[in-house]
Structure 1
Amino acid sequence: MIDAKKIEEIARQVHESLPYGVREFGDNVEKKIRQILQTQLTRLDLVNREEFDVQTQVLSRIREKLVTLEQRLDELEAKSSL
Protein backbone atom coordinates (compact mmCIF):
# COMPACT_ATOMS: atom_id res chain seq x y z
CA MET A 1 0.00 0.00 0.00
CA ILE A 2 2.28 2.80 1.20
CA ASP A 3 6.02 2.56 0.60
CA ALA A 4 7.76 2.33 3.97
CA LYS A 5 10.97 3.70 2.46
CA LYS A 6 9.18 6.90 1.44
CA ILE A 7 7.82 7.33 4.96
CA GLU A 8 11.29 6.73 6.37
CA GLU A 9 12.72 9.36 4.02
CA ILE A 10 10.07 11.94 4.93
CA ALA A 11 10.47 11.24 8.65
CA ARG A 12 14.24 11.58 8.35
CA GLN A 13 13.96 14.88 6.46
CA VAL A 14 11.55 16.31 9.02
CA HIS A 15 13.78 15.11 11.85
CA GLU A 16 16.88 16.68 10.26
CA SER A 17 15.09 20.00 9.79
CA LEU A 18 14.34 20.30 13.51
CA PRO A 19 16.48 22.62 15.67
CA TYR A 20 19.35 20.93 17.49
CA GLY A 21 17.69 21.17 20.91
CA VAL A 22 14.64 19.36 19.64
CA ARG A 23 16.79 16.85 17.74
CA GLU A 24 18.17 15.63 21.06
CA PHE A 25 14.91 13.77 21.42
CA GLY A 26 15.85 12.11 18.11
CA ASP A 27 14.63 8.56 18.38
CA ASN A 28 11.35 9.40 20.07
CA VAL A 29 10.58 12.30 17.76
CA GLU A 30 11.41 10.30 14.63
CA LYS A 31 9.32 7.34 15.77
CA LYS A 32 6.39 9.62 16.56
CA ILE A 33 6.68 11.41 13.21
CA ARG A 34 6.76 8.05 11.44
CA GLN A 35 3.67 6.87 13.33
CA ILE A 36 1.77 10.06 12.57
CA LEU A 37 2.71 9.98 8.88
CA GLN A 38 1.74 6.32 8.60
CA THR A 39 -1.61 6.98 10.26
CA GLN A 40 -2.41 10.05 8.18
CA LEU A 41 -1.35 8.47 4.88
CA THR A 42 -3.35 5.35 5.65
CA ARG A 43 -6.43 7.50 6.20
CA LEU A 44 -6.00 8.92 2.71
CA ASP A 45 -6.58 5.42 1.30
CA LEU A 46 -3.81 5.81 -1.27
CA VAL A 47 -2.58 3.13 -3.64
CA ASN A 48 0.97 2.59 -4.73
CA ARG A 49 2.14 3.12 -8.30
CA GLU A 50 2.09 -0.59 -9.14
CA GLU A 51 -1.55 -0.95 -8.10
CA PHE A 52 -2.44 2.21 -10.03
CA ASP A 53 -0.72 0.93 -13.18
CA VAL A 54 -2.49 -2.44 -12.93
CA GLN A 55 -5.87 -0.74 -12.59
CA THR A 56 -5.04 1.56 -15.52
CA GLN A 57 -4.35 -1.49 -17.69
CA VAL A 58 -7.58 -3.15 -16.58
CA LEU A 59 -9.53 0.00 -17.39
CA SER A 60 -7.88 0.20 -20.81
CA ARG A 61 -8.90 -3.37 -21.64
CA ILE A 62 -12.45 -2.68 -20.48
CA ARG A 63 -12.64 0.40 -22.69
CA GLU A 64 -11.44 -1.62 -25.69
CA LYS A 65 -14.11 -4.26 -25.03
CA LEU A 66 -16.75 -1.55 -24.67
CA VAL A 67 -15.81 -0.03 -28.03
CA THR A 68 -15.99 -3.47 -29.64
CA LEU A 69 -19.40 -4.17 -28.09
CA GLU A 70 -20.73 -0.77 -29.16
CA GLN A 71 -19.61 -1.47 -32.72
CA ARG A 72 -21.28 -4.89 -32.70
CA LEU A 73 -24.46 -3.37 -31.29
CA ASP A 74 -24.48 -0.70 -34.01
CA GLU A 75 -24.06 -3.43 -36.65
CA LEU A 76 -26.89 -5.52 -35.18
CA GLU A 77 -29.16 -2.49 -34.97
CA ALA A 78 -28.39 -1.60 -38.57
CA LYS A 79 -29.20 -5.16 -39.71
CA SER A 80 -32.42 -5.31 -37.70
CA SER A 81 -33.67 -2.03 -39.17
CA LEU A 82 -33.40 -3.36 -42.72
Structure 2
Amino acid sequence: MFDPKKLEQVAKQIHESMPQPVKELGNDVEQKVRQVIQAQLGKLDVVNREEFDVQTQVLLRTRQKLAEMEQKLADLEAKLTAKAEDKDA
Protein backbone atom coordinates (compact mmCIF):
# COMPACT_ATOMS: atom_id res chain seq x y z
CA MET A 1 0.00 0.00 0.00
CA PHE A 2 2.83 2.40 0.90
CA ASP A 3 6.11 2.78 -0.92
CA PRO A 4 8.65 0.81 1.16
CA LYS A 5 11.49 3.06 -0.03
CA LYS A 6 9.72 6.17 1.28
CA LEU A 7 8.98 4.41 4.55
CA GLU A 8 12.62 3.39 4.87
CA GLN A 9 13.71 6.95 4.11
CA VAL A 10 11.47 8.39 6.83
CA ALA A 11 12.66 5.78 9.34
CA LYS A 12 16.26 6.58 8.46
CA GLN A 13 15.69 10.32 8.89
CA ILE A 14 14.13 9.75 12.30
CA HIS A 15 17.02 7.47 13.24
CA GLU A 16 19.59 10.05 12.11
CA SER A 17 17.93 12.81 14.14
CA MET A 18 18.22 10.81 17.38
CA PRO A 19 20.94 11.46 19.97
CA GLN A 20 24.16 9.46 19.54
CA PRO A 21 23.57 7.02 22.45
CA VAL A 22 20.23 6.07 20.93
CA LYS A 23 21.77 5.80 17.47
CA GLU A 24 24.26 3.30 18.82
CA LEU A 25 21.43 0.87 19.34
CA GLY A 26 21.57 0.74 15.56
CA ASN A 27 19.30 -1.32 13.39
CA ASP A 28 17.06 -2.34 16.26
CA VAL A 29 15.87 1.23 16.75
CA GLU A 30 15.52 1.82 13.03
CA GLN A 31 13.52 -1.40 12.70
CA LYS A 32 11.26 -0.44 15.62
CA VAL A 33 10.70 3.03 14.13
CA ARG A 34 9.81 1.44 10.79
CA GLN A 35 7.37 -0.94 12.51
CA VAL A 36 5.69 1.89 14.41
CA ILE A 37 5.35 3.98 11.25
CA GLN A 38 3.93 1.03 9.31
CA ALA A 39 1.47 0.26 12.10
CA GLN A 40 0.27 3.86 12.27
CA LEU A 41 -0.02 4.20 8.51
CA GLY A 42 -1.91 0.91 8.41
CA LYS A 43 -4.52 2.36 10.76
CA LEU A 44 -5.27 5.19 8.35
CA ASP A 45 -8.16 4.74 5.97
CA VAL A 46 -6.27 5.65 2.79
CA VAL A 47 -5.64 4.24 -0.64
CA ASN A 48 -2.52 4.40 -2.74
CA ARG A 49 -2.23 6.77 -5.67
CA GLU A 50 -2.82 4.06 -8.28
CA GLU A 51 -6.12 3.01 -6.68
CA PHE A 52 -7.15 6.66 -6.38
CA ASP A 53 -6.43 7.31 -10.06
CA VAL A 54 -8.35 4.19 -11.13
CA GLN A 55 -11.37 5.20 -9.05
CA THR A 56 -11.19 8.74 -10.43
CA GLN A 57 -11.38 7.36 -13.98
CA VAL A 58 -14.31 5.11 -13.02
CA LEU A 59 -16.11 8.10 -11.53
CA LEU A 60 -15.51 10.22 -14.63
CA ARG A 61 -16.88 7.47 -16.91
CA THR A 62 -19.88 7.03 -14.64
CA ARG A 63 -20.60 10.77 -14.69
CA GLN A 64 -20.35 10.78 -18.48
CA LYS A 65 -22.77 7.86 -18.80
CA LEU A 66 -25.15 9.52 -16.35
CA ALA A 67 -25.12 12.75 -18.39
CA GLU A 68 -25.83 10.76 -21.56
CA MET A 69 -28.70 8.91 -19.90
CA GLU A 70 -30.16 12.16 -18.56
CA GLN A 71 -30.07 13.59 -22.08
CA LYS A 72 -31.77 10.50 -23.52
CA LEU A 73 -34.45 10.68 -20.83
CA ALA A 74 -35.04 14.37 -21.56
CA ASP A 75 -35.36 13.56 -25.29
CA LEU A 76 -37.85 10.77 -24.60
CA GLU A 77 -39.89 13.00 -22.28
CA ALA A 78 -39.95 15.69 -24.95
CA LYS A 79 -41.15 13.18 -27.56
CA LEU A 80 -43.85 11.89 -25.22
CA THR A 81 -45.00 15.41 -24.45
CA ALA A 82 -45.09 16.27 -28.14
CA LYS A 83 -47.14 13.13 -28.92
CA ALA A 84 -49.57 13.88 -26.09
CA GLU A 85 -50.03 17.45 -27.36
CA ASP A 86 -50.58 16.22 -30.93
CA LYS A 87 -53.13 13.73 -29.66
CA ASP A 88 -55.03 16.41 -27.71
CA ALA A 89 -55.04 18.82 -30.64
Identity of aligned residues (%): 59
Q: Indicate the structure (1 or 2) with the bigger Cα radius of gyration.
A: 2
Aligned Cα RMSD in Å? 1.0
Task: Measure the CA separation in 2 of the matches of 1:58 and 1:77.
Answer: 28
Higher relative CO (Cα under 8 Å, sequence separation at least 6) belongs to 1
Task: Measure the CA separation in 1 of the matches of 2:45 and 2:8.
Answer: 19
Ranges in structure 2 where 5+ consecutive residues have no aligned partner: 83-89
Structure 1 consecutive aligned stretches of length 4 or more whose deviation exceeds 4 Å: none
Task: Measure the CA separation in 2 of the matches of 1:10 and 1:80.
Answer: 64
Counterpart of 1:53, as a letter, is D
CA positional deviation for 1:22: 1.0
* 1:7-38 per-position Cα deviation (integer Å, ceiling 9, x unaligned): 11110111111111111112111111111111
Number of residue pairs matched by the alignment: 82
Ranges in structure 1 where 5+ consecutive residues have no aligned partner: none
1:2·1:46 contact (CA, 8 Å) conserved in 2? no
Alignment TM-score, normalising by the size of structure 1: 0.92
- Map residues 1-82 of structure 1 onto 2, 5 A cutoff: 1-82=1-82
